[in-house]
Copies of this chain bind each other. A is one copy, B any other.
Amino acid sequence: MNSTESVSRPRGRPRRFDAEQGVATAQHLFHARGYDAVSIADVTEALGINPPSFYAAFGSKAGLYARVLDRYSATDALPFADLLRPDRPVAECLAALLEMAARQYVADPAATGCLVVEGTRCNDLEAREAARSLQAGAEVVIRTYIAARHPQEAQRVADFVGTAMAGLSAKARNGFEPDRLLAIARMAGRALMQELSGKTA
């Protein structure tokens, strides 16, 4: 693939800023303050552009948020595929997922919690639905992974994992320290071990 080289520039006046970098900057803003608390003026100021340039590039606030969510799932989301391994006990992998979530949710003190989980609770319908759709996809992945070896418990255990992640994200945003959050995640992990013990290795 061509990494930075564009084959043929478009016709008109060139854009003064890089849209991808704008999405990255916006991601930090949304993650730090939440969707509702970020205004278009905040974004245009951070990008050093004016409103018309913003709307030409992203269409709307929700449109920008959709691109932010895409970027988040591509670069910052939890690596489900790596964590949920078929060659390891299900509970062990889910526990590792929760631990990694706890670590990631406080990795950047200026942008705590999960961008997607927090996005599902914003006050804008379009942005909320976009975040919920992404969250629903992740929960399907988790439930399907569990169901392969624990079909009976899949729904309940997947719900527990999703609720634990939501709770960890909330507590991360409430200012919990990394150690404290990790201890909670480990306790939830032990609950998973107990719940799925003795059925399949």
Contact = CB atoms under 8 A, between A and B. Distances in A.
Interface string A148-159: 000000011101
Smallest CB-CB A-B distances: 3 pairs = A167-B167, A191-B191, A163-B167
Interface in A105-157: 117, 120-121, 123, 132, 155-157
A173 interface: yes
A93 interface: no
A100 B139 CA distance: 25
A74 interface: no
A159 B182 CA distance: 11
A66 to B, nearest CB: 19
Given A164-B163, A183-B156, A195-B190, A173 B123 contact: no
A166 interface: yes
Interface string A16-46: 0000000000000000001011000000000
A171 B162 contact: yes
A201 interface: no
Interface residues of A, number: 35
Interface in A155-201: 155-157, 159-160, 162-171, 173-174, 176, 180, 183-184, 187-188, 190-191, 194-195
A167 B157 CA distance: 14
Given A34-B123, A36-B36, A187 B183 contact: no
A163 B168 contact: yes
Interface string A53-85: 000000000000000000000000000000000
* Candidate in A163, A169, A195 with the most chain B CB atoms within 10 angstroms: A163
Contact of A160 (B162, B165, B187): B187
Contacts of A36: 36, 123
A171 B163 contact: yes
